[in-house]
Structure 1
Amino acid sequence: MKRMISDAIGFEKKFRLKEDKKFEHYKIMLPKLRENDLMIKIAAISISTLDTQIRQHIKGPKKPYILGFGGVGIITRMGSTHPHLNVGDRVLYVNKVGKYGSYSNFQIVDGRSVVKLPDSFPTDEAAAFSYSFFLAFEVLFKQLKLTPKPGKNQGNLLILNTSDGLGATIIQLAKWAGLNVAATIDKNNSEIWIKNMGADTVFSQSTNLSQELTAAELTPIDYVINLDTEKEKSFDQLGEFKDSAKILLLHFVKRKYKDLDPDFLNFYCEEFLDTTFASDEGINYSREIMELLVYMWEKKLLRSILTAQLNGFSDKNFYGAHKLIENNPNFRHLVLVNE
């Protein structure tokens, strides 16, 4: 089968928006379809803080860099026959970042990681969850070793620096699993949105957390997840919970930090996605978690995490999406629809 060229949006070198550099349009040669592969015409993708951090810090030889960690699309070609999948199916998937990400009209993905979407799950809503649900599940049930069943856990979870769709998804999964959840937000974030995700209480980052948690009857804290490790100042509040809680620091990319407590768990999103799709076990695991996402949506166990939508895969729209996420705390998770 002939290899195909796809229009894609990417960049040659990591950059910050203030450097006045832009995304560029490329024509890329897609990989050859292997036995397990599918060609997907991408319909919608999610963009969040993970995208903006990787754009600023990505390293390696994969140029141009085409970001994007999966989304929703239509199967257009198949490497071989796949049980339960056909050309024309609308599907959901997650993938690693690199040279062939989902900032593209077409993408080659491993069919074992793909889940067919029911009509009840809208394209934009499914794309919004995609990798955020995958990362949230991994953090709660693999890293913190909670039981991935409804109501089977007890205790209090504190999420620091809750702002984007990942934080919103962690809240919903933690509540589903049986935990009480307290969340802290920047003063510019929407407290109403975070409460709508299911948080039992929401505090400002600047408050005295110990006093606030005691007043809310959410002590002792059993688990802490810090979602803003890009600012080392955000580590300052962790010491008071060290004796009672299992503490996880979520890093979007792997960087060097000063004096990290060796007792803290460290989870690196980019590295996790990379290693997951390097093994058959990881590929199958990603599909199983997407199947759970579809099940929970159909059972009305999830609330929408979509905060904004842009239409059209263009260099200007990708730049605008990254700018919105970096500059507006209430647009930390959005969907780009490929018209």
Structure 2
Amino acid sequence: MKAVALTRYLPIDDPQSLTDVELPAPVAGGHDLLVRVEAISVNPVDTKVRSPKPQVEAQPRVLGYDAAGTVEAVGEQVTRFKVGDTVYYSGDITRPGSNSELQLVDERIVGAAPASLDAAQAAALPLTAITAWELLFQRMPFDSENGGRGKTLLVVAGAGGVGSIAIQIAKRAGFEVVATASRPQSVEWCRKMGADHVIDHRQPLGPQLKTLGIEQVDAALNLADTDRYWDELGELLAPQGHVGLIVEPAGALKIGDPYKLKCIGIHWEMMFARPRFGTADMIEQGRILDRVAQLIDAGELQGTHSETLGRIDATTLREAHRRLESGATIGKLVLAGW
């Protein structure tokens, strides 16, 4: 089968950083689906895993943590899907990824793809949808249907992949959503996703919130730079508020006052935790994806796909990595077809 892989961890401008390869087709067993991949999306985790380091792989390593496709075969323990079903998923970071024509993935972390979206549009959603949903509704104590009524949520980096879906599910849950963005295009995108207000994260956040009549926020999702906004969010969060984090801090964080003084809940989200550790509730990820697909098809959520760069090959995938590393992407970049 065709795949895009690496054996060395190199700068993305090096043609050997990602290469086209031929690999043996895997065989489904147990809870695994064998999926024929039709479209993939790229995420910051792809660039982080691929980032330069001296390690050398003995066999080609396939990355990729967002896909949509069709079930080609099923393992003997599979109950949720059958051959021919269209599915979407993020996968398991400890296993070969989705940058290949065929991929094995545990059925429990797979969802039925939205019927109203094509493969490219569906592939843009899984990792970010799971991340936002788990963080807001499972790590934080908010109900997905009405847990935001009367509350204000600040979303730092609202135009990114996670921010794009977090804005939508928060609005649906009843939050007043303030997103941050720094360019006219990203401001417009946040408003398109449903943000009530958009402020500039290059400037101090507090004065901008006060201009909106917001003295404090009940919850904040810091989806960009944990260290940079840590002190400021500690001041902006209400007593007994909540902060959600997804980015590893560069240095030590001061988790005492004002966080301790206010009893602010600190919540980490790593969407690969359930599949990586085989948790008893890993089927929750399949259920989240099923629910997101239902909401997409009902018109209550919209897709976050911003551009299809081309077909799935090493040249196009390197370009996708370059764009992500620029820090200027909006929504989700997708590759489709072989």
Distance 1:247 1:114, change over 3 A: closer
152, 158, 175: which one pairs with 2:154?
158
Per-residue deviation, residues 89-140 of structure 1 (Å, max 9, x unmatched) = 2112231124410011110112233333353232222111111100000110
CA distance in 1, matches of 2:54, 2:26: 21
Indicate the residue corresponding to 1:322 in structure 2.
Answer: 321
1:134 equivalenced with 2:103 (yes/no): no
Indicate the residue corresponding to 1:238 in structure 2.
Answer: 233
221, 224, 232: which one pairs with 1:225?
221
- The AA in structure 1 aligned to 2:183 is K
CA distance in 2, matches of 1:103, 1:140: 29
CA distance in 1, matches of 2:236, 2:53: 32
| Contiguous gaps of at least 5 residues in structure 2 | 260-264
Indicate the residue corresponding to 1:56 in structure 2.
Answer: 51
| SS of equivalent residue, structure 1 residue 292 | helix
Q: CA RMSD in A?
A: 2.8
Distance 1:37 1:257, change over 3 A: same
Distance 1:155 1:255, change over 3 A: closer
CA distance in 1, matches of 2:101, 2:53: 22
Deviation for aligned residue 1:64: 3.3
Distance 1:328 1:249, change over 3 A: closer
1:293 equivalenced with 2:287 (yes/no): no
Indicate the residue corresponding to 2:244 in structure 1.
Answer: 248
Distance 1:332 1:174, change over 3 A: closer
* 1:162-173 paired onto structure 2 within 5 Å: 162-173=158-169
90, 96, 102: which one pairs with 1:94?
90
Per-residue deviation, residues 34-54 of structure 1 (Å, max 9, x unmatched) = 232221000111212232233
Deviation for aligned residue 1:284: 0.9
Is the contact between residue 178 and residue 197 of structure 2 (CA under 8 Å) also seen in structure 1? yes
CA distance in 2, matches of 1:27, 1:117: 27
CA distance in 2, matches of 1:250, 1:82: 31
Indicate the residue corresponding to 1:174 in structure 2.
Answer: 170
Percent identity (aligned): 23
Is the contact between residue 71 and residue 102 of structure 1 (CA under 8 Å) also seen in structure 2? yes
Indicate the residue corresponding to 2:268 in structure 1.
Answer: 267
Paired residues, what number? 329
Deviation for aligned residue 1:224: 1.3
2, 10, 30: which one pairs with 1:7?
2
CA distance in 2, matches of 1:95, 1:60: 23
Per-residue deviation, residues 137-188 of structure 1 (Å, max 9, x unmatched) = 0110122211122466431111123331210101001111111111111336
CA distance in 2, matches of 1:260, 1:104: 42
| SS of equivalent residue, structure 2 residue 30 | coil
CA distance in 2, matches of 1:221, 1:119: 36
| SS of equivalent residue, structure 1 residue 142 | helix
| Contiguous gaps of at least 5 residues in structure 1 | 1-5
Deviation for aligned residue 1:332: 5.1
Distance 1:318 1:98, change over 3 A: farther
Structure 1-normalised TM-score?
0.86
252, 255, 259: which one pairs with 1:258?
252
